[in-house]
Chains A and B, each alone.
Chain A
Amino acid sequence: MRVGLFVTCLVDLMRPSIGFAALRLLENAGCEVVVPESQTCCGQPGYNSGDYASAKALALKLLGEFKDCDYVVLPSGSCAGMIKVHYPALLKDDPSVLESVNRLSSRTYELTDFLVNVLKIEKIPGRYSGSLTYHDSCSGLRELGVQAQPRALLAKMPGVTLTEMTECATCCGFGGTFAVKFGAISTRMADKKCANIAQTGASAVVAGDLGCLLNIEGRLRRRGDLQTRVLHIAEVLAGEGKEGSTWK
């Protein structure tokens, strides 16, 4: 099985460890993983800002890069949603690529969804012991139905205690450029998230999207919380969460 890994631009720039964790998880499950080296961005920032032309150009670029893969997997519900849900809408008026776009869309998966529903993995390679709380990132949850998958995977890891937070499915306030354009509103939303995280007493918050993680981490630190670890689900599952936190 030839699996194309799209690490996403945020992971590429900000936290490569997530990309490697995803890579290890897929390889460990027996996939032949290809990482097209020309990959950059899926086009979502442009698309959500209304710049459809540049989003289309990037969609077509990605389409070419992953055309030989049986599946495309991303450690991000948001970017996976972009490809799976929005590419077909974005390119609906382009008959020359429509078929390949639909094919790409049907083969694209968010990482935990892929591990659970396609690979049906039973054994998680990583080790983690401690209490976690899981934040459901919006796009993965509402566009792709990623909710049970990460929890099912965490449940297979001995030593992990998952404590659900209040409003785990409420937006953390990231929203791509929203966090910059409407910083004050976004901060208030992040504040509620931080309070809900604190209430669980968990030592780490886990999510499937780096955007949310940067937002939550940034607000936690500004509020003076230097203890709560902020981890990507791939890092936890691959065992990199052990000492992988940027914050000690």
Chain B
Amino acid sequence: MEVTAMHFRRKAAESLENAKLQHALKKMQSKFVDKRAAAITELPNFTEIRDAATDIRERVVNHLDSYLLRFEQEATARGAVVHWAEDIEEANRIVVEIAQRHGVRKVVKSKSMVTEECALNDYLASVGVEVLETDLGEYILQLAHEPPSHIVAPVVHKSKEEIADLFAEKHKRTRKTEITEMCREAREVLRPGFLSADMGISGANFIIAETGSVLIVTNEGNGRLTTTLPRVHVAITGIEKVVPTLEDASTLLRLLPRSATGQPITNYVSVLTGIRGQDESDGPEHFHIILLDNGRSRLLGTELQPMLRCIRCGACMNHCPVYQNIGGHAYGWVYPGPMGSVLTPSFVGLENAIDLPNASTFCGECAVVCPVKIPLPDLMRHLRHQQVVRHLRPWTERVALRLWSWAARHPAVYALLTRAAVRLLCLLGGKEKRLRHLPGASGWTKGRDMPAPAGRTFRELYQARRSL
């Protein structure tokens, strides 16, 4: 997927003015935030489960190499082929090699954020392989030629009416507006795809070291069809998705859907282990698992390592007041919200996502709702620090901060400067006691008045009081 994170500011402004998007975001917020809150209260031992989940993920990240090697060994023993991809080019190349080796012309896909990272669909199209997205949201986006705007609800930015128009145009059928009818129509279009595809591509919510299994959760059942009907199944996932045991996976599964959509569990949980056995009636003849690094291992041993605990539930974005107001496209890459503000600069380069770590008020709600306790504000702050160290912030900002901190370290200078400043601002505030334009802070005064200061600083008044 093309990285457009550098346009965050412009795209955020556009999002704020997009009435349809604002309506959709409002609906999403009430749906996911309220449902999660209710789902969490259903778990009397939520705190313990969250602690356990955090421990599991932390243990994995601390011993990533050994769990991955165990996974490879177990998966291989059950007939799967495990591939290691350093970057997205390598991952794409491996998929194409597999497709060519098996004479694949048509591919069905179940949602996978890693393949979004890889822009795999475009790559496959460029070598003449036809790809059909089968997750309803992803399918709609494929028809609309748009990227996802959320990792769990990829099409959350579109209204039912827009989708009805899109279906009518692309399916060339009568326009339907009932959701059940629209779903039926999509199902009718997709079903022949499943039956005629030579290859199914899926992501993985977890991969399990003790059994070499790939675990996926879906609500639509398309994941099951994608991974069992075609003769070749390729699962592509980030290296951090490994969990030690099935038991551990079940612990995480108690939190993943609850955190994501407020569901106690998704409609389908598929544990895909090995290739089709001799006496088995379904499952792929060939099972390839691609483990993608793409910058993940670079985070190991750094301040950003906790980000690798992420189980991609999307709770951080659902609860982020910034995301709630601008939606996912503004973030300019695969992962939006607070998660994206850490992942995007980490994976595509800090210099290519300069605004993202700053696009947070540090309200801290993302860390409160994260089921594996990733300290997202701390990680964003660390990236801001990296920007300062690498001189990536605008010079005006750097100078302003330097001046402030220098003055704050010299109380006599500070007293003099602030005394002058508050008098001036008080004067400018006039009778109304508010400033409608503040030079140098137009970002503030464009939408707000600046309440004028009282005119004397606390330190002045306090000194005067003491000398009475």
Interface check B358, CB cutoff 8 A: yes
Interface check B434, CB cutoff 8 A: yes
Q: Given A12-B459, A16-B457, A178-B361, do A51 and B401 touch, yes or no (CB 8 Å)? A: yes
Q: Residue on A with the closest CB to B407?
A: A40
Which residues 357-394 of B sit at the A interface, judged by CB distance below 8 A?
358-365, 367-368, 378, 381-389, 393
Q: List chain B residues, Cβ under 8 A from A221.
A: 434, 448-449, 451
Interface SS of chain B = helix
Interface check A2, CB cutoff 8 A: no
Is B414 a contact of A40 with CB atoms below 8 Å? yes
Of B124-132, B188-196, B231-239, B319-327, the one with at least 4 CB within 8 A of chain A? B319-327
Interface check B4, CB cutoff 8 A: no
Of A111-119, A127-135, A181-189, the one with at least 4 CB within 8 A of chain B? A181-189
Q: Given A16-B454, A143-B364, A178-B361, do A219 and B447 touch, yes or no (CB 8 Å)? A: yes
Query: For the complex, what is the distance from the CA of A41 to the CA of B325, rounded to whole Å?
Result: 31
Query: For the complex, what is the distance from the CA of A174 to the CA of B444, rounded to whole Å?
Result: 10
Is B449 a contact of A14 with CB atoms below 8 Å? no
Is A12 a contact of B13 with CB atoms below 8 Å? no
Q: Given A57-B405, A184-B13, A222-B447, do A11 and B381 touch, yes or no (CB 8 Å)? A: no
Q: List chain B residues, Cβ under 8 A from A50.
A: 381-389, 393
Is A214 a contact of B450 with CB atoms below 8 Å? yes
Interface check B402, CB cutoff 8 A: yes
Q: Given A14-B453, A15-B453, do A58 and B408 touch, yes or no (CB 8 Å)? A: yes
Q: Given A181-B443, A182-B12, A185-B325, do A48 and B451 touch, yes or no (CB 8 Å)? A: no
Q: List chain A residues, Cβ under 8 A from B446.
A: 183-184, 187
Query: For the complex, what is the distance from the CA of A217 to the CA of B378, rounded to whole Å?
Result: 29
Is B451 a contact of A217 with CB atoms below 8 Å? yes
Q: How many A-B residue pairs have CB under 8 A?
A: 199
Q: List chain A residues, Cβ under 8 A from B454.
A: 14-17, 246
Q: List chain A residues, Cβ under 8 A from B16.
A: 184-185, 188
Tell me how far the C-beta of B321 lies from the nearest C-beta in chain A, rounded to whole angstroms. Answer: 5
Contact string, A147-168, partner B, CB cutoff 8 A, digits 1/0? Answer: 0000000000000000000000
**Contact partner, B448, options A11, A51, A54, A190, Cβ 8 Å:** A190
Q: Given A16-B457, A246-B451, do A175 and B362 touch, yes or no (CB 8 Å)? A: yes
Q: List chain A residues, Cβ under 8 A from B416.
A: none
Q: List chain B residues, Cβ under 8 A from A58.
A: 405, 408-409
Tell me how far the C-beta of A171 lies from the nearest C-beta in chain B, rounded to whole angstroms. Answer: 4
Tell me how far the C-beta of A140 lies from the nearest C-beta in chain B, rounded to whole angstroms. Answer: 10
Interface check B404, CB cutoff 8 A: yes
Tell me how far the C-beta of A164 lies from the nearest C-beta in chain B, rounded to whole angstroms. Answer: 16
Interface check B96, CB cutoff 8 A: no
Q: Residue on B with the closest CB to A174?
A: B361
Q: Given A184-B16, A188-B16, do A38 and B411 touch, yes or no (CB 8 Å)? A: yes
**Contact partner, B458, options A20, A52, A190, A218, Cβ 8 Å:** A20
Q: List chain A residues, Cβ under 8 A from B322.
A: 182, 185, 189
Q: List chain A residues, Cβ under 8 A from B449.
A: 217-218, 221-222
Is B444 a contact of A218 with CB atoms below 8 Å? yes
Interface check A43, CB cutoff 8 A: yes
Interface check A1, CB cutoff 8 A: no
Q: Given A51-B405, A178-B361, A189-B325, do A19 and B458 touch, yes or no (CB 8 Å)? A: yes
Q: List chain A residues, Cβ under 8 A from B364.
A: 138-139, 142-143
Tell me how far the C-beta of A226 lies from the nearest C-beta in chain B, rounded to whole angstroms. Answer: 9
Tell me how far the C-beta of B153 lies from the nearest C-beta in chain A, rounded to whole angstroms. Answer: 20
Interface check A215, CB cutoff 8 A: yes
Q: Residue on A with the closest CB to B413?
A: A40
Q: Given A183-B444, A214-B450, do A246 and B433 touch, yes or no (CB 8 Å)? A: yes
Which residues 23-60 of A sit at the B interface, judged by CB distance below 8 A?
35, 37-41, 43, 45-52, 54-55, 57-58
Query: For the complex, what is the distance from the CA of A15 to the CA of B452, rounded to whole Å?
Result: 9
Which residues 45-82 of A sit at the B interface, judged by CB distance below 8 A?
45-52, 54-55, 57-58, 61
**Contact partner, A190, options B407, B414, B443, B447, Cβ 8 Å:** B447
Query: For the complex, what is the distance from the CA of A247 to the CA of B449, rounded to whole Å?
Result: 13
Q: List chain A residues, Cβ under 8 A from B363.
A: 138, 142, 170-171, 175
Interface check B456, CB cutoff 8 A: yes
**Contact partner, A43, options B13, B386, B405, B453, Cβ 8 Å:** B405
Tell me how far the C-beta of A218 lies from the nearest C-beta in chain B, rounded to whole angstroms. Answer: 3
Interface check B418, CB cutoff 8 A: yes
Q: Residue on A with the closest CB to B405?
A: A54
Query: For the complex, what is the distance from the CA of A177 to the CA of B452, rounded to whole Å?
Result: 18
Q: Residue on B with the closest CB to A193?
A: B321
Q: List chain B residues, Cβ under 8 A from A142.
A: 363-365, 367-368
Interface check B463, CB cutoff 8 A: yes
Q: List chain B residues, Cβ under 8 A from A20.
A: 458, 461-462
Is B442 a contact of A57 with CB atoms below 8 Å? no
Query: For the complex, what is the distance from the CA of A30 to the CA of B444, rounded to whole Å?
Result: 40
Q: List chain B residues, Cβ under 8 A from A214.
A: 450-451
Query: For the complex, what is the distance from the CA of A229 to the CA of B199, rounded to whole Å?
Result: 64
Interface check B280, CB cutoff 8 A: no
Query: For the complex, what is the distance from the CA of A143 to the CA of B449, rounded to whole Å?
Result: 29
Q: List chain B residues, Cβ under 8 A from A222.
A: 447-449
Interface centre among B325, B422, B452, by most chain A C-beta atoms within 10 angstroms, is B325
Is A46 a contact of B401 with CB atoms below 8 Å? yes
Is A13 a contact of B451 with CB atoms below 8 Å? no
Query: For the complex, what is the distance from the CA of A221 to the CA of B449, rounded to whole Å?
Result: 7
Contact string, A193-233, partner B, CB cutoff 8 A, digits 1/0? Answer: 00000000000000000000011011101100000000000
Is B461 a contact of A180 with CB atoms below 8 Å? no
Q: List chain A residues, Cβ under 8 A from B388.
A: 49-52
Is A11 a contact of B458 with CB atoms below 8 Å? yes
Query: For the complex, what is the distance from the CA of A190 to the CA of B364, rounded to whole Å?
Result: 17
Query: For the complex, what is the distance from the CA of A183 to the CA of B16, rounded to whole Å?
Result: 12
8 A–B pairs (Cβ distance < 8 Å), ordered by A? A13-B453, A14-B451, A40-B414, A51-B388, A142-B368, A173-B321, A218-B450, A221-B448
Question: Considering the complex of A and B, which 7 residue pairs feature the smallest CB-CB distances, nearest first?
Answer: A175-B361, A187-B447, A50-B384, A183-B443, A218-B448, A54-B405, A171-B363
